[in-house]
Structure 1
Amino acid sequence: MSGLQQVGDGVWAFLRTPGGWGEANTGLVVAPGTASLVVDTAWDVGVARRIAEAQAPLVADAPITEAVNTHSDGDHWWGNDSLPAGTRITTSTAALEGMREDLPPRALTALASTGSVLGRLPGPIGAAGAYTARVRGDARFPRRTPRMPDHTFDTATTLEVGGRTVELERLGPCHTAGDLVARIADAGVVFTGDLLFIGSTPILWHGPLDNWLSALDRLLAWDAAVYVPGHGPLCGTAEIRTLRNYWLWLRDAAAEQHRTGTGLLPAARALVRSPEFTQWRHWESPERLVLSLSTLFDQWNGKPPGPPTVVRRATAFAVAETLLREGALNS
């Protein structure tokens, strides 16, 4: 179910299922009569406007004074200009660095538009271009780089919102360098950013994977009533364990492919055709397995964890599109 949903006492989530590229969830914490806090914003300017309009009745007597961006991917912060001008925006120090270093909206718009044309070409260049266009979909990005956070922390901090406490904890680097979670203990709700993809194939952009496994253990230890993932529907601990099992399988299966010197495309083909993959084949964008596989191979080849280079990202995009064109993921 998509749209604005109450998930706890004074806590709402705007869900965008099934949670594919750019379909990121956002959140709202309200202290009635005093103040409110927003968790993440949408990269599509029209969607960001609709979310703000849906939230307006809830914040009429509790203006938005605080916001949190869970990490540096544009689909979680490119809508920051939809926030009231006086809102303080918080993220981790590492996430802010990632925002400054990543491609701005205008550049991704240009790449996706070019990719739509290049996608008609055969071979890796055409495949990479087509997949870049697929990532954008029909989203309309802001024309300029939106407001960046103006408040950062390194490992953990708390925000007071009208007497309510929102705990922030950086659990990255995992998906990205600065992944953080927002816990509203009095409501039993945790906003996890992209540490949780539920029913949607996760992406290990940065790593190391062991950090992500530890982060999932941290989430499980809280045993919250509701977890709001970065992508996909609301979940509990069972779904977190399923995600953890996916990572364990991918780690071990990919390691076997790497040990035998198999290249990225044949390794990806072998993994998606394996019987073990059947239980995750129905997840949104299952070809994104390739993106994580690329990160794992890169690190097993001796490179330190870090954001993907342009070459690595383009190579992984080409392989992902090739799998789709081959029909390797058809059930």
Structure 2
Amino acid sequence: MSDRWIEVAPRVWALRVQELDQTLGLVIGDESCLVIDTGVSAEAGYAFATAIREKTDLPWQVAYTHDHFDHWFGTSAFGEAAIWAVGDGAQYIARGDEQRQAWAARYRREGREEKARDIARSKLVPPNCRVQGAVGLNLGGRTVVLRQAGLAHSDNDLVIEVPDAGVLFAGDLLENGAAPSYTGAFPYEWPQAVEYLLSWKPAVVVPGHGDPADYWWARAQVRDMAETARMCAEVAQGFLTEEEALAHSPFGEATMRAALDRCKELTPPPPPEPEAPAAKPQTPPPPVVVYDIFDYDIDLTR
């Protein structure tokens, strides 16, 4: 698959990228545009920025759907811009450095040295505008809503709503063609968060990976995520064995294993057993005093 644009609504685009089957976004207003995620590396970011300039010459702002490297390592190509995210800049840089090392090593193991170098030399550009709750951005004749999702795929997920077009950019809260990734996720809260975000019934849902789809596809995936959460809870409570959960997972054995392992990570350890009180030193019992009772006969006439 080569990179290709999909117009999901008037002046709302999704760019399907071959690397990691990723989906990036673009929303165009009358005065500015919003770029949704920027790709896996500076090279990918330059390609995305060039493709955007073929569609519009308006100034841009950027939104990060979360802090996984494939969604923001390409931002250096966009120069000075407002960059919106839920997580703060220090968090992005710290986690970005860890991910850069891990993925560069992974690409080298796969024999993809050029991809490893692309990631290694990508400048990390942290967000400079914080989203807490929801923020409305006026792009000129069109307002988009940046909404904090809460604990879900990560601890800093952000979705982008385009109300006038009926489009929701869901980031990695939803994936089309692949199972959800539970590494670092919050299995119990995730389906609840997405169910709330779908409550306005967007006509088009753009996932972080895979093709755009409709509301009913998204609802079906949330149902399977809720079933995964329920099975994790039943394993924790002893109602199901892990083997039963693995055999009947809606997403397959590997995904169920990842969800179970993540739930174990998030479960606090049991409180320590209270220490028994120290034994008091043994002391001999007090002596028993036996009193003899005498019956005195007193002559009071004397």
TM range (shorter): 0.7 to 0.9
Give the secondary-structure state (helix, strand or coil) at the position aligned to 2:208.
coil
2:260 pairs, out of 282, 293, 310, with: 293
Q: 1:302 to 1:244 in 2, by over 3 A?
A: farther
Amino acid at match of 2:197: L
Deviation of 1:48 (Å): 2.6
Amino acid at match of 2:70: D
Give the secondary-structure state (helix, strand or coil) at the position aligned to 1:227.
strand
Answer whether contact 1:27 1:39 (CA < 8 A) is retained. Answer: yes
Q: 1:260 to 1:169 in 2, by over 3 A?
A: same
Q: 1:46 to 1:145 in 2, by over 3 A?
A: closer
Amino acid at match of 2:63: V
Amino acid at match of 2:8: V
Query: In 1, distance between residues paired with 2:261 and 2:245?
Result: 13
Give the secondary-structure state (helix, strand or coil) at the position aligned to 1:82.
helix
Amino acid at match of 1:222: W
Answer whether contact 1:16 1:232 (CA < 8 A) is retained. Answer: no
Query: In 1, distance between residues paired with 2:203 and 2:115?
Result: 34
RMSD over aligned CA atoms reads 3.2
Query: In 2, distance between residues paired with 1:22 and 1:74?
Result: 12
Give the secondary-structure state (helix, strand or coil) at the position aligned to 1:38.
strand
- 1:76 aligns with 71
The yes-or-no answer on 1:49 pairing with 2:16 is no
Specify which structure has the bigger relative contact order, considering alpha-carbon pairs within 8 angstroms and separated by 6 or more residues. 1
Answer whether contact 1:40 1:67 (CA < 8 A) is retained. Answer: yes
- 1:107 aligns with 101
Describe how 1:83-232 pairs up with structure 2 within 5 A: 83=78, 85-92=79-86, 94=87, 96-104=89-97, 106-112=100-106, 116=109, 140-232=118-210
Give the secondary-structure state (helix, strand or coil) at the position aligned to 1:12.
strand
Deviations 1:63-97 (A, max 9, x none): 32x111111111111111121x23211111x3545
Query: In 1, distance between residues paired with 2:269 and 2:123?
Result: 34
Identity, % of aligned positions: 25
Deviations 1:143-189 (A, max 9, x none): 14421111112111111213321111101221111111111111111
Deviation of 1:106 (Å): 4.2
Describe how 1:25-44 pairs up with structure 2 within 5 A: 25-32=23-30, 34-44=31-41
Give the secondary-structure state (helix, strand or coil) at the position aligned to 1:177.
coil
Query: In 1, distance between residues paired with 2:158 and 2:84?
Result: 10
Deviates more, 1:215-224 or 1:103-112: 103-112
Q: 1:45 to 1:145 in 2, by over 3 A?
A: closer
Answer whether contact 1:202 1:288 (CA < 8 A) is retained. Answer: yes
Task: Give unmatched runs, 5+ long, in structure 1.
Answer: 117-132, 304-331
Answer whether contact 1:15 1:233 (CA < 8 A) is retained. Answer: yes
- 2:287 aligns with none
Q: Which has the higher strand share?
A: 2
Deviations 1:246-270 (A, max 9, x none): 22222233334444599xxx94x65
Q: 1:112 to 1:11 in 2, by over 3 A?
A: same
Q: 1:299 to 1:86 in 2, by over 3 A?
A: closer
Answer whether contact 2:168 2:206 (CA < 8 A) is retained. Answer: yes
- The alignment covers a number of residue pairs equal to 267
Q: 1:96 to 1:205 in 2, by over 3 A?
A: farther
Task: Give unmatched runs, 5+ long, in structure 2.
Answer: 271-302
Q: TM-score when scaled to structure 1?
A: 0.70
Give the secondary-structure state (helix, strand or coil) at the position aligned to 1:14.
strand
Q: Which has the higher helix share?
A: 1
Query: In 1, distance between residues paired with 2:226 and 2:34?
Result: 35
Amino acid at match of 1:300: T
Higher-Rg structure is 2
Query: In 2, distance between residues paired with 1:142 and 1:289?
Result: 32
The yes-or-no answer on 1:59 pairing with 2:37 is no
Answer whether contact 2:104 2:119 (CA < 8 A) is retained. Answer: no
Give the secondary-structure state (helix, strand or coil) at the position aligned to 1:75.
helix
Q: 1:226 to 1:58 in 2, by over 3 A?
A: same
Deviates more, 1:44-53 or 1:158-167: 44-53
Deviation of 1:38 (Å): 0.3
Answer whether contact 1:70 1:76 (CA < 8 A) is retained. Answer: yes
- 1:9 aligns with 10
Amino acid at match of 1:98: Q
Q: TM-score when scaled to structure 2?
A: 0.76
